[in-house]
C-alpha cells in the first residue's frame, strides 16, 4: 500500500510577536525581538526579569465570554491557535462530505495549567478546600485544549495530548502525521501551547539556573549561539497546524502551504536536563527523520534549530548537525528563539510555522544578538536571506532527553 502524502493546509498561532502567521513572520524577517520586562508580580525575588509576553490577545473573538474567562491561559492559547488554523484551512465545510470521525486533534503542553494550579493552591491554603475551583482539574490537564477544540468542531477522530517538555509540539505534529499516513484520519489539528510566565513557573526555572539573568536590554537577552549567552528567555504562546492527506486536500480544493515529508523522535538517555555533549541522540533523531523522508543530508537546504541559548544545549546541537551533514557550508541555519524566546511546549509549533513561512516566501529570518558567535560551519545569516529551499528541517528537544525532528518541503 502506497504511503499517503501529508500536506499542511492551515496555521494558527499566539506569540510575543503577534497572533497572525504573516505578521509573525514579517517581524522575524525584520529581526524584531518580542522580549520585554516581565511584570513585577511574576518575577519578584528571582534573578530573571525578562520574557516573551503575549499582548493584544482576546479569546472572546473565537469562543463565548464565559468559557474565555474561565480557562487557563495555556488552554486559551491552544483554542485560539487551533481555531485560527482550522479557519485558515477553510474548515469546517458544512455539506462537504467531511467525515468528522476521520478528523482529530493532538495539542500538547509541557507544563499544562501551572497558573490555575498555583492560584488554587493559594486558595486552599488561605481559604480552605471548599473554595477551590471546580475547574481546577480540567484546567490543569494538558489534554483540555484539544478536547475543547474537538467539541467545538465535532472532530471525533484521534484526540490526545503530548507532553515531552520543549519537544511537545513537534512530537504532536509527528504523531498527527502518522494517523494520516496510516489511513486512520484525513485531517489532524496539531501543535502545542504554554503559559509558564507565572510566579511559580519563573521561580522554578530560576531555581534550576536555566534562565538568562540579562536585564539591561531585554531585546538582546536571548542569544543563541553567542559565546556570551547565559540561559534561555522564557516565553508563552501557542501554535497549531492543520495536516491533511494530499488526496483529501485536493478533493476539497484546499490551498496547500507545504508538504510534510517525514519526522522522527529519539531519546538522549543521558540526563534529566542536560543534553548529551556529543550530540549523538540528536544526530540519531535527524538521521531517522531523513530516512523516513527518503532523502539524503545533501538535500537539506535550511535548518530551523532548537537553539535555546543555553550554554550546553546550543553547542550539543551544533555537534549533532556536524555529525550528520557532510557539506554544512551549503546549509542555512537560524534560531527563531533569538527573537521569540523559548515557549517550551509551544516552541516547536511556532518554529514549524516559521519554517513553513520560509518555504512559502523563499526568505529565512536572521538570528539576532550574535556579537561573538560560536564557531559555526553552517551559513547563519544575521540579516534576512533568500534561500532556494528544497527540503527544510526543524529540530525540537526537551528535558528528559526528548528529541524530535520534522522535514518539510514546498508542495508540488
pLDDT for 183-231, tens place per residue?
999 999 999 999 999 999 999 999 999 999 999 999 999 999 999 999 9
pLDDT at residue 302, rounded to an integer? 98
Segment 284-306 shows an average pLDDT of 97
Domain boundaries, the chain: 7-258, 263-409
CB 172 within 8 A of CB 119: no
Tens of pLDDT, residue by residue over 111-141, are 999 999 999 999 999 999 999 999 999 999 9
Fold classification of 263-409 (topology level):
Peroxisomal Thiolase; Chain A, domain 1 (3.40.47)
Nearest Cα residue to 342 out of 299, 277, 399, 285: 399
The question of whether 271 is a catalytic residue gets the answer no
pLDDT digits (tens, 9 = 90+) for 326-381: 878 889 999 999 999 999 999 999 999 999 999 999 999 999 999 999 988 899 99
Q: Residues 166, 190, 206, 285: which is the catalytic one?
A: 166
- How far apart CA 410 and CA 412 sit, in angstroms, is 7
Mean pLDDT of 318-322: 94
Q: Which pLDDT does position 95 carry in this prediction?
A: 61
Q: What is the Cα–Cα distance from 181 to 54, expressed in whole angstroms?
A: 35
> Is 342 designated active site?
yes
Residue 357 CA to residue 270 CA, distance in Å, equals 34
pLDDT for res 1: 45
* Fold match between domain 7-258 and domain 263-409: yes
Sheet with strand 6-14: strands edge to edge: 159-160, 103-108, 187-194, 237-245, 6-14, 258-267, 402-409, 391-398, 300-304, 332-334
- 8 Å CB contact between 48 and 205: yes
* Residue from 139, 179, 342, 365 carrying the catalytic annotation: 342
Question: pTM for the whole thing?
Answer: 0.97
**pLDDT of residue 305 exceeding 90:** yes
Q: Evaluate if residue 257 carries a pLDDT over 60.
A: yes
Catalytic residue chosen out of the listed positions 179, 206, 285, 306: 306
State the Cα angle at 80 between 78 and 85, rounded to 5°.
95
Q: For residue range 39-79, list pLDDT tens digits in order.
A: 999 999 999 999 999 999 998 888 888 888 899 999 999 99
Of the candidate CATH numbers 3.20.20.100, 3.40.50.2000, 3.40.47.10, 3.40.50.720, the domain formed by 7-258 belongs to: 3.40.47.10
Q: Quote the CA–CA distance of 204 and 289 in Å, as a whole number.
A: 33
pLDDT band at 176 (very low <50, low <70, confident <90, very high): very high
The pLDDT of residue 2 is above 60: no
pLDDT tens string 3-44: 789 999 999 999 999 999 999 999 999 999 999 999 999 999
Strands 391-398 and 300-304: parallel
Amino acid at each position: 500500500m502506497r504511503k499517503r502524502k501529508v500536506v499542511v493546509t492551515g496555521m494558527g498561532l499566539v506569540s510575543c510577536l503577534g497572533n497572525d502567521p504573516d505578521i509573525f513572520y514579517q517581524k522575524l524577517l525584520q529581526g524584531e525581538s518580542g522580549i520585554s520586562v516581565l511584570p513585577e508580580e511574576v518575577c519578584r525575588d528571582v534573578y530573571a526579569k525578562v520574557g516573551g509576553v503575549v499582548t493584544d490577545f482576546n479569546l472572546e473573538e473565537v469562543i463565548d465570554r464565559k468559557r474565555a474567562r474561565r480557562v487557563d491561559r495555556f488552554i486559551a492559547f491552544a483554542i485560539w491557535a487551533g481555531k485560527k488554523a482550522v479557519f485558515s484551512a477553510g474548515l469546517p465545510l458544512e455539506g462537504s462530505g467531511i467525515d468528522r470521525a476521520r478528523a482529530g486533534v493532538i495539542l500538547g503542553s509541557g507544563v499544562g495549567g501551572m497558573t490555575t494550579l498555583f492560584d488554587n493552591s493559594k486558595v486552599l491554603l488561605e481559604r480552605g478546600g471548599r473554595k477551590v475551583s471546580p475547574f481546577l482539574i480540567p484546567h490543569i490537564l494538558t489534554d483540555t485544549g484539544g478536547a475543547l477544540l474537538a467539541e467545538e468542531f465535532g472532530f471525533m477522530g484521534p484526540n490526545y495530548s503530548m507532553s515531552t517538555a520543549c519537544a511537545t509540539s513537534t512530537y504532536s505534529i509527528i504523531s498527527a502525521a502518522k494517523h494520516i499516513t496510516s489511513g486512520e484520519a484525513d485531517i489532524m489539528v496539531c501543535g502545542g501551547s504554554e503559559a509558564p510566565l507565572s510566579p511559580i513557573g519563573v521561580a522554578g526555572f530560576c531555581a534550576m539556573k536555566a534562565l538568562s539573568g540579562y536585564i539591561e536590554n531585554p531585546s538582546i537577552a536571548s542569544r543563541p549561539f553567542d559565546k556570551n549567552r547565559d540561559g534561555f528567555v522564557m516565553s508563552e504562546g501557542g501554535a497549531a497546524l492543520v495536516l491533511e492527506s494530499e488526496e483529501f486536500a485536493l478533493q476539497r480544493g484546499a490551498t496547500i502551504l507545504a508538504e510534510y515529508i517525514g519526522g522522527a523522535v529519539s531519546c538522549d538517555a543521558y540526563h534529566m536536563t542536560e543534553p548529551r555533549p556529543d550530540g549523538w541522540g540528536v544526530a540519531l533523531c535527524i538521521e531517522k527523520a531523513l530516512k523516513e523522508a527518503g532523502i539524503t543530508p545533501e538535500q537539506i537546504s535550511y535548518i530551523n534549530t532548537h537553539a535555546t541559548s543555553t550554554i550546553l544545549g546550543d553547542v550539543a546541537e551544533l555537534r549533532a548537525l556536524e555529525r550528520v551533514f557532510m557539506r554544512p557550508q551549503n546549509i542555512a541555519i537560524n534560531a527563531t528563539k533569538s527573537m521569540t524566546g523559548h515557549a517550551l511546549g509551544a516552541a516547536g509549533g511556532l518554529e514549524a510555522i516559521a519554517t513553513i513561512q520560509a518555504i512559502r516566501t523563499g526568505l529565512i529570518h536572521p538570528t539576532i544578538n550574535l556579537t561573538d558567535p560560536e564557531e559555526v560551519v553552517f551559513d547563519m545569516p544575521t540579516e534576512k536571506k533568500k534561500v532556494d529551499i528544497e527540503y527544510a528541517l526543524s529540530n525540537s528537544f526537551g528535558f528528559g532527553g526528548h528529541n524530535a525532528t520534522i522535514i518539510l518541503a514546498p508542495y508540488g
